[in-house]
Structures are given as C-alpha cells and as structure tokens.
Amino acid sequence: MSGPEGTPAPPVARDDRLPPQAYRNIVLSLRTGLIAALVLLVGGIAAYVAVHPGVTSGEILSSNPIASFLTFSGLTRGLAHGSPEAFLTLGILVLVATPIVRVVAGFYYFERGGERTMAGITLVVFVLLLFALLVFGPFVK
C-alpha cells in the first residue's frame, strides 16, 4: 500500500485532518433529518387518509396533491392551516435537505481547518444543490 507520495503509508494514519466531531455531527444530521422526515411523512399520510377516506389511488396518481404547496407562501399557508399535504411537502423537503445540511457541515469543517480548496468545492456543491431546487426545477416546470 502506498502513502500520498507513492511511499509506504504509516501503519496508523487515520484522516485526523477532520476532527472527530465532524464525523459525529454528520451522522447526527443524517439521522435527525431522516427521523424528522419520517415523522412528517407518516403523520401527513395518516392525517390525509383520515380526512379524505374515499380517495382512490387513481386520483392520487393522476394529479400531484402537493402541487399547490411547492411555493414558500403556499407551504407556510398550508402549515398554518394544518393541511396534511403541507406536512407531506415539508417531510419531502426535509428528506431532500438532509444531505444538503451535511454538505454545509463539510464546508464548515474544511474552512475551519484552513483547507480552502476543499471548502470552496463543498461551497460550489451547496450552491448547485440550491440551484437545482430553487432555479432549475421551477425553470423547467
């Protein structure tokens, strides 16, 4: 096995350039996001089925029930009114945002460690992810 210069790697050479809390906080952010999304999605579906008992799968598949909640104003209004579809939308958003949060965590730890190039790369990835959600998707809609 080779080290970074093609020379034998030291027997114990864990990546200590990132602090242990970077690993811990990334695990925590992934798990917290997943659990929050699951709670919102399960609760939202249960509430929707209770409120709309006669709905069929055909009706669900023929139109997107969350279409009117995909704007900031639509989502906040829906959440304020306790709409199950709004909570479902929030659950999906939390699931999509979970890996984005860990990109932000990566940027923070690389920046703090003085690794400007890696910090810049994670910042570009973060901006691209925001672009996908806020610009590309609505643009091609």
- Identify residues 30-49 at the interface with another protein (CB under 8 A): 30-31, 33-34, 37-38, 41-42, 44-45, 48-49
Interaction of residue 76 with another protein, rule CB under 8 A: no
Site for another protein in 3-32 (CB under 8 A): 3-6, 8-15, 17-18, 22-23, 26-27, 30-31
The distance of closest approach from Cβ of residue 80 to another protein in the complex, given in angstroms and rounded to an integer, is 19
Q: What number of chain residues touch another protein (CB under 8 A)?
A: 77
> In whole angstroms, how large is the CA radius of gyration of the chain?
21
Counting other chains too, the contacts that 90-95 makes at CB distance below 8 Å and 24 or more residues apart are 90/40, 90/44, 91/36, 91/37, 91/38, 91/39, 91/40, 91/41, 91/44, 92/37, 92/41, 92/66, 94/33, 94/36, 94/37, 94/40, 95/33, 95/34, 95/37, 95/41
Among 61, 72, 80, 81, binds another protein (CB under 8 A): 61
**Of the candidate residues 74, 92, 108, 111, the single one contacting another protein (CB under 8 A):** 92
User: In the set 47, 79, 104, 121, which binds another protein (CB under 8 A)?
Assistant: 121
Q: Is the dihedral of CA 132, 135, 67, 77 positive or negative?
A: positive
Q: Compare residues 79 and 93 and give the one whose CB is closer to another protein.
A: 93
